[in-house]
Structure 1
Amino acid sequence: MSYKPPNRAPGSAPPAGPAALRRANLSLVLRELRDHKVLSRADIAETTGLHRATVSNLMAELLERRLVREVGVRHAGAVGRPRRAVALHGAHVGALGMEINVDYIAVHGTDLSGRVLVERRIVHDAVGSGPDGSVRRLAAVAGQAVEAMRRAGATPAGIAVAVPGLVDVTRGVVTLAPNLSWHELPLAERLTSVLGPLRLPVRVDNDANLAALAEYTSGVAAGTPYLVYLTGEVGVGGGIILDGRLLRGADGFSGEVGHLQVDPDGAQCGCGRAGCWETKVGLAALVRAAMPEQAYGLPGRPVPDPGERVSDIADGLAAGDPRMTAAVAQVGEWLGLGGSILANLFNPRVIVIGGYFASLARWLLPHAQDQLDRLVVAAPAARCRLVASTLGFGAASRGAASMVVSDVIDDPTAIIGTSPRPAPV
């Protein structure tokens, strides 16, 4: 199996014509199966509005491409005729999602049906390595993940990389990632070049946007149409779901909530401004207050896994360490204050907190929810609650993998290696 990516910019309209209509119908069928797991051909015809004969022809092509599989018989009602059921398959088609952050690289590889093939997080000093070193490390990690996926029987159709910063998604350029010290980095192009013989299409997007998509599709508040997701890393970003759609903004740069100025007299942020929200609630701020001897940026100290830092703080909190307890209470109050600004602006039903926020939710949430309830103008009518993500530090890489899956579903005909019979639109 190989995959030929569509010859068009992400998000642009596909060309018109019979082939495009057939491709759109194939995609429509796959999306129904992704959303409903198991359906009969008759079910698909009813939900899509396509003629049953059209669905049968489309299904024949999808079966030949091994993108769906038959899973038995379903009965329509107690005495209805039996219907052959089908489900999303694609065990031979892989999707590789990655995230690079200040102190780690995360990997999440799946097949088309969502079976997890590889998942890991490795320590990486992105700032110390610089852009060139980080691209080389990303390529090395990607190569290892691709080999693991191939051993599991799936060939990746593409790679998507989540980055904590402003991303020009169409060009695959990281416009600004202040915590990584990256500026105008053509990451997609550079990574594609270093990957060389793998010849995989590379997409790049903002980490919080991808994590928000993962939360909306498979997280603790899945399906909530008005949702805000907050990353809990060294930096803080936000992904905003409004009416079931990701809010990108006019230029694709929405969600930079970590740079809301909440304290004009506060510490300098990596973006160059003072008093940004992430200087109050980011992991670097918490570590500096809770265990200053482990603070980020100290000379001569290796960069530990963020999970280790958070685990140490959790142990201290469980033991009643007064310095850590005070630090977490303060972060929780600032978390609630910033969350109230988002609640007043977007009126979400849920604010999902991820990353280290979720790991320490037991101690953070009471302080944060109190502040949120106090500061939301429309409370209690707004009914906004803070909940902890269950996806951990892997939310962005999971969302990145789902973006590759969406690319395949958008154009199933790009799967090469079979010779499907021509099918009417």
Structure 2
Amino acid sequence: MTYRASRSRAPGGTAPTGSATLRRANLSVVLRELRDHRSLSRAEIAQATGLHRATVSNLMAELLERRLVREVGVEHVGAIGRPRRAVALHGAHVGALGMEINVDYIAVHGTDLSGRSLVERRVVHDAMGSGPDSAVRRLGLVAKEAVEAMRRAGAVPTGIAVAVPGLVDVTRGVVTLAPNLHWRDLPLAERLGAVLGRARVPVWVDNDANLAALAEYTSGVAAGTPHLVYLTGEVGVGGGIISGGELLRGADGFSGEVGHLRVDPNGDQCGCGRIGCWETKVGLAALVRAAMPEQAYGLPGMPGPDPGERVADIARGLASGDRRMMMAVAQVGEWLGLGGSILANLFNPRVIVIGGYFASLAQWLLPHAQDQLQRLVVAAPAAPCRFVASTLGFGAASRGAASMVVNHLIDDPTTITDSLPRPAPH
């Protein structure tokens, strides 16, 4: 249910006016119904959407022509075994590319319209130290490589979405402020589009935690839970909030900056310039500095290893009983629980899904965090809330970004042009 959309029932009420607009909306309604089910007959789609059966048949003819759906067999229903031809979402030729750029890596997740994974990779890149110009160039290079890999798999990318750890003006594709990347007012969608050049693929930009939260809600460990909070667990800490099954964006789209909750007035300076932010206590940089200071972020010289390697080193130390690492993780776990309790008191979620390095070290972090959560949440006895570890790893935001592109396509299937490749005739 990535970017949950209202499903207008049939052509009544406040349906869009104009035949082309109405048809586009109805095509989207049908595709959304098929996305949520493995397969459906035309009659079942008509019943679920409120559209007339003849309208559904007409729409299905166009979707079959565009190769966005496929017929998957004949079902027999009723006492006399009346046959119904079932259809399913298809679009194997239609690609969606999701990317994430973070402090020390670029992640990629490419999929087709039906959710088939085509590309999955993570590239080490010092985005914090290289500056925005270099980061955009590297992002463009990685995007071009992913686009080519998707083309080889038979899918033409029809959109790219990029997840960024910071405040994003989604409408304009501008990164307003990304403190840990040292970016301000960067027109990332425009700049990346220029780097891609001839590809001329639409580019969208959104906050990494928002996109990761949507990925969790759609296909993660707490999929379908209508009230959840997602925490990124990177060098910086962001939050995505699902309330009533919808992403909570706030008045200007800047909600979820939970890493900048002030939890210690006498603490360290944050990348945002303020003192004592929550991410200075629980971000990966804070843990690495305490657990293995020889690999701390910001040290002079070459950029450090992939974040997954740093976390793996800490996990090995914890498994062997390294006292310094055990103490560092216990302290981070307690701060994680304290900040989580603030979010639980504010939003009353059923679960707080922890991603990134939090999930990798969950077996050591969560006992401390859950204890604090139980102690500090006011409504804990009546409204239990628990931490759960994500299973999507460091790829949650890029996966959510790909889903964002798919959702744009489903919103308007007519943007999928006839220039996409067709199977060779037999």
- TM-score by length of structure 2 reads 0.94
What SS does the aligned partner of 2:161 have? strand
What SS does the aligned partner of 2:158 have? strand
Structure 1 stretches of at least 4 aligned residues deviating more than 2 Å after TM superposition = 13-16, 74-82
1:202 paired to 2:206: no
What SS does the aligned partner of 1:324 have? helix
> 2:96 is matched with which residue?
95
> 1:181 is matched with which residue?
182
**Stretch moving more, 377-386 or 97-106:** 377-386
Aligned partners of 2:16 and 2:25 also within 8 Å: no
* 1:418 CA drift (Å): 6.9
What SS does the aligned partner of 1:378 have? coil
What SS does the aligned partner of 1:36 have? coil
What SS does the aligned partner of 1:287 have? helix
The amino acid that maps onto 1:317 is L
**Aligned partners of 2:22 and 2:419: how far apart in 1?**
20
> 2:171 is matched with which residue?
170
Q: Which ranges of structure 2 fall in alignment gaps of 5 or more residues?
A: 1-13, 421-426
Aligned partners of 1:240 and 1:255 also within 8 Å: yes
Change (3 A) 1:353 1:78: farther
> 1:243 is matched with which residue?
244
What SS does the aligned partner of 2:35 have? helix
Deviation track 1:283-319 (CA, whole Å, cap 9, x = no partner) reads 0000000000110011114221000000000000000
> 1:8 is matched with which residue?
none
What SS does the aligned partner of 1:383 have? coil
The amino acid that maps onto 2:215 is A
| CA RMSD across the alignment | 1.4
Change (3 A) 1:14 1:310: farther
**Aligned partners of 1:304 and 1:48: how far apart in 2?**
51
Change (3 A) 1:198 1:369: same
Deviation track 1:91-133 (CA, whole Å, cap 9, x = no partner) reads 0000000000000000000000000000000000002210000
Change (3 A) 1:77 1:418: farther
Aligned partners of 1:259 and 1:278 also within 8 Å: yes
* 1:81 CA drift (Å): 2.2
Aligned partners of 1:41 and 1:56 also within 8 Å: yes
What SS does the aligned partner of 1:33 have? helix
* 1:75 CA drift (Å): 3.2
* 1:82 CA drift (Å): 2.5
What SS does the aligned partner of 1:366 have? helix
Aligned partners of 1:263 and 1:274 also within 8 Å: yes
What SS does the aligned partner of 2:131 have? helix
**Aligned partners of 2:58 and 2:97: how far apart in 1?**
30
What SS does the aligned partner of 2:271 have? coil
Aligned partners of 1:14 and 1:20 also within 8 Å: no
Aligned partners of 2:214 and 2:247 also within 8 Å: yes
**Aligned partners of 1:200 and 1:129: how far apart in 2?**
25
Query: Which structure 2 residues correspond to residues 173-322 of structure 1 after superposition, within 5 A?
Result: 173-322=174-323
**Aligned partners of 1:171 and 1:278: how far apart in 2?**
27
**Aligned partners of 1:80 and 1:257: how far apart in 2?**
56
> 1:339 is matched with which residue?
340
* 1:74 CA drift (Å): 2.3
**Aligned partners of 1:147 and 1:294: how far apart in 2?**
35
* 1:79 CA drift (Å): 5.5
The amino acid that maps onto 1:336 is G
**Aligned partners of 1:78 and 1:227: how far apart in 2?**
44
- TM-score by length of structure 1 reads 0.94
> 1:423 is matched with which residue?
none
Instruction: Compare relative contact order (CA 8 Å, sep 6+) and give the higher one, 1 or 2.
Output: 1
Aligned partners of 1:232 and 1:353 also within 8 Å: yes
**Aligned partners of 2:356 and 2:104: how far apart in 1?**
13
The amino acid that maps onto 1:135 is V
Deviation track 1:53-73 (CA, whole Å, cap 9, x = no partner) reads 100000000000000001112
> 1:36 is matched with which residue?
37
Change (3 A) 1:175 1:334: same
Deviation track 1:10-31 (CA, whole Å, cap 9, x = no partner) reads xxx9974111110000000000
Change (3 A) 1:242 1:79: farther
* 1:377 CA drift (Å): 0.2
Aligned partners of 1:65 and 1:418 also within 8 Å: no
**Aligned partners of 1:77 and 1:300: how far apart in 2?**
72
**Aligned partners of 1:366 and 1:62: how far apart in 2?**
50
> 2:328 is matched with which residue?
327
> 1:138 is matched with which residue?
139
Change (3 A) 1:390 1:78: farther
Q: Which ranges of structure 1 fall in alignment gaps of 5 or more residues?
A: 1-12, 420-425
